Amino acid sequence: MNIFEAIVLGLVQGLTEFLPVSSSGHLEIGKALFELDKGKNFYFTIAVHGATVLSTIVVFRKELADLIRGVFKFRMNEETGYVLRIFVSMIPLAFVGFFLKEEVEGLYNGNMLLIGLMLLVTSLLLTIGHFASGKGRSISYRDAFIIGLAQAFAAIPGISRSGATIATGMMLGNRKDELARFSFLMVLIPILGANFLEIVSSTDKMTESLSPAVLIAGTLTAFISGYAACRWMINIVRKSKMIWFAAYCLVVGLLTILFL
């Protein structure tokens, strides 16, 4: 991997992690176009995912600080309830991670037909979510679990995590101003945990050679583009303009099936 490829893939990761177009699907497409061997870019993948997590923390730093302060009051309050709903949302993904890890990893094999089809599924979810008549209610524990199911489903490459979770919340009638924040915060712990487990369990990759310049270029690009995309996505959800991303996923999915 060279610096140009690192910048392009970092940009793809940063933008598509938050925009509802599937970061996993776009990264697989990018690697296929650049003819990159996934096994030789282990630490790059870890770094760009970490960069997008950091961008989320920066965007929601005030909200996270309020949640931490509320939790450490050690009583049931609004912040403690919110954090508990986040943990409830993580249950389905934890099940997938513990019991279906090998099956999910087997899907990341460069199968462009699968990715194209799943992008079409993402397009359908976004379309339904766009036209769903929201009731403007807060996210309940039940809603959190159902949104968590959508997040677990998005482990399949080509299914957008943010798109699936936000569209599901819209179908449930949740308030739009809460959905983007909840969708982005609920993934922080799973990504950090998954990256940590990958590092400690992959000692065989310690000899992987990767230029520091390449790693830095990809990480910085992912952070900057992720920060911009996260803030942009919050406004998009509030204004209910998800249909444009549904059209994008439809076009990219069809092109992937036909040409890749």
CB count, 10 Å around CB of 104?
Answer: 14
Instruction: Note the pLDDT tens digit of each residue in 105-153.
Output: 888 887 889 999 999 999 999 999 888 866 678 899 999 999 999 999 9
Q: What are phi and psi of 248, to 5 degrees?
A: -60, -45
Q: Look up tokens 């992959």; give the residue.
A: 202
Instruction: Measure Cα distances from 232 to 16, 51, 227, 240 in Å.
Output: 12, 17, 9, 12
Please tell me the least confidently modeled range out of 17-31, 63-77, 160-174: 17-31
Q: Give residue 133's pLDDT.
A: 62
Tell me the average pLDDT across 17-36: 79
Helices (H) and strands (E) in the chain, counts: 14, 0
Tell me the average pLDDT across 3-14: 86
Q: Give residue 203's pLDDT.
A: 54
Instruction: Note the pLDDT tens digit of each residue in 164-217.
Output: 999 999 999 998 878 889 998 998 888 888 777 776 666 555 445 667 888 889
Q: Give residue 206's pLDDT.
A: 47
Q: Give residue 121's pLDDT.
A: 95
Q: Give residue 42's pLDDT.
A: 64
Most confident of the ranges 46-50, 74-78, 193-197: 74-78
Which of 95 and 235 is assigned the larger pLDDT?
95
DSSP 111: -
What is the three-class DSSP state of 75?
coil
Residue 234 has pLDDT above 50, yes or no: yes
Rounded distance between C-alpha atoms, residue 47 and residue 38, angstroms: 14
Q: Give residue 123's pLDDT.
A: 95
Tell me the average pLDDT across 247-255: 93
Helix axis angle, 42-59 to 61-71, nearest 10°: 80
Domain ranges for the chain: 3-259
Nearest residue to 183 (alpha-carbon basis) of 127, 135, 242 = 242
Tell me the average pLDDT across 235-260: 87
Q: Look up tokens 């019991």; give the residue.
A: 99
Buried b / exposed e along 50-64 (16+ C-beta atoms within 10 A): bbbbbbbeebbeeee
What amino acid occupies position 98?
F
Tell me the average pLDDT across 85-94: 94
Tell me the average pLDDT across 57-69: 94
pLDDT-based confidence at 255, cuts 50/70/90?
Answer: very high
CB of 218 closer than 8 Å to CB of 31: no
Tell me the average pLDDT across 4-32: 83
